[in-house]
């Protein structure tokens, strides 16, 4: 796959990274990434993945833009109030990088449609704001052996991990189902916090596509904005996990 002079200039600063090069850029151009949600996390990850030259981004979101989104969802502007987030993001991303194919889907991610929505995407970026939807994504990730980049935010805190089916625990191992059906109000969030978490998710996504051997796998990285610290926790597979226990993972 050849690149235009404009593309070579655009990606020059990353292709000069050792181990990246033109071959790595080709891998990005051939990749198809699924971004679940185009809110606070999805705003940042979609921008950075498009900027990096991922060839195909499939963005899925059912919601419309409202004023309460604008403190953190920087892909949406005041003029987009009332627009569907998928449409708003499509417009920005196609103008931002015309060489990136943006597929925008106005749909709710559900158990009965998640697998078909993900389709032939090679990486799942979790930019959701609720655990039930995340667990649906996780189940498809394990079933289809698709890397899953998790990110979560609350107030000034965030978490990130990279789940690789058959090599690492899955989301269910870390956040097992408690059986609770109690609804919770939308979380309080300081705008830049999703930016920190989604930037890390973007780095992890690119590393997975390029085949770098040091993803955030088997580890949960926690960010605390109050004291500006990062803490890392090793995570292990739950031998009774209902989602991934059939996949034997070496410690």
Q: Is residue 202 domain-resident?
A: yes
Q: How far is CA 200 from CA 161, 162, 180, 222, in A?
A: 9, 10, 30, 11
Q: Is residue 2 domain-resident?
A: no
pLDDT given for residue 230 in this prediction:
97
**Domain residue limits at 74:** 15-234
pLDDT given for residue 120 in this prediction:
96
pLDDT given for residue 156 in this prediction:
97
Q: Is residue 115 domain-resident?
A: yes
pLDDT given for residue 215 in this prediction:
84
pLDDT given for residue 1 in this prediction:
59
pLDDT given for residue 124 in this prediction:
98
* pTM of the predicted protein model: 0.95
Q: Is residue 48 domain-resident?
A: yes
Q: Is residue 7 domain-resident?
A: no
Please report, for the domain that includes residue 84, its CATH number. Answer: 3.40.50.720
Domain count, the chain: 1
pLDDT given for residue 227 in this prediction:
96
pLDDT in tens, the chain (251 residues): 589 999 999 999 999 999 899 999 999 999 999 999 999 999 999 999 999 999 999 999 999 999 999 999 999 999 999 999 999 999 999 999 999 999 999 999 999 999 999 999 999 999 999 999 999 999 999 999 999 999 999 999 999 999 999 999 999 999 997 655 555 677 799 999 999 999 999 999 999 999 998 889 999 999 999 999 999 999 999 999 999 998 877 65
Q: Is residue 77 domain-resident?
A: yes
pLDDT given for residue 250 in this prediction:
65
Q: Is residue 240 domain-resident?
A: no
Q: Is residue 162 domain-resident?
A: yes
């Amino acid at each position: 796959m050849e690149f235009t002079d404009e593309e070579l200039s655009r990606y020059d600063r990353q292709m000069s990274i050792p181990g990246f090069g033109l071959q790595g850029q080709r891998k990005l151009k051939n990749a198809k990434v699924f971004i679940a949600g185009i809110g606070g996390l999805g705003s940042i990850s979609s921008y950075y993945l498009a900027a990096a030259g991922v060839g195909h981004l499939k963005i899925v979101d059912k919601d419309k833009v409202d004023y309460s989104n604008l403190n953190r969802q920087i892909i949406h502007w005041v003029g987009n109030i009332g627009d569907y987030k998928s449409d708003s993001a499509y417009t920005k991303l196609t103008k931002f990088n015309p060489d990136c194919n943006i597929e925008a889907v106005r749909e709710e991610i559900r158990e009965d449609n998640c697998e078909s929505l993900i389709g032939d995407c090679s990486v799942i970026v979790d930019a959701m704001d609720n655990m039930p939807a995340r667990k649906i994504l996780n189940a498809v990730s394990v079933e289809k052996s698709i890397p899953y980049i998790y990110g979560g935010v609350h107030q000034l805190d965030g978490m990130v991990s990279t789940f690789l089916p058959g090599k690492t625990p899955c989301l269910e191992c870390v956040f097992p189902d408690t059986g609770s059906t109690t609804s919770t109000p939308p979380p309080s969030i300081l705008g830049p916090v999703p930016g920190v978490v989604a930037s890390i998710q973007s780095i992890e996504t690119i590393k997975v596509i390029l085949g770098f051997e040091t993803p955030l796998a088997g580890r949960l990285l926690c960010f605390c904005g109050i004291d500006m610290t990062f803490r890392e926790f090793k995570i292990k597979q739950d031998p009774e996990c209902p989602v991934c226990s059939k996949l034997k993972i070496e410690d």
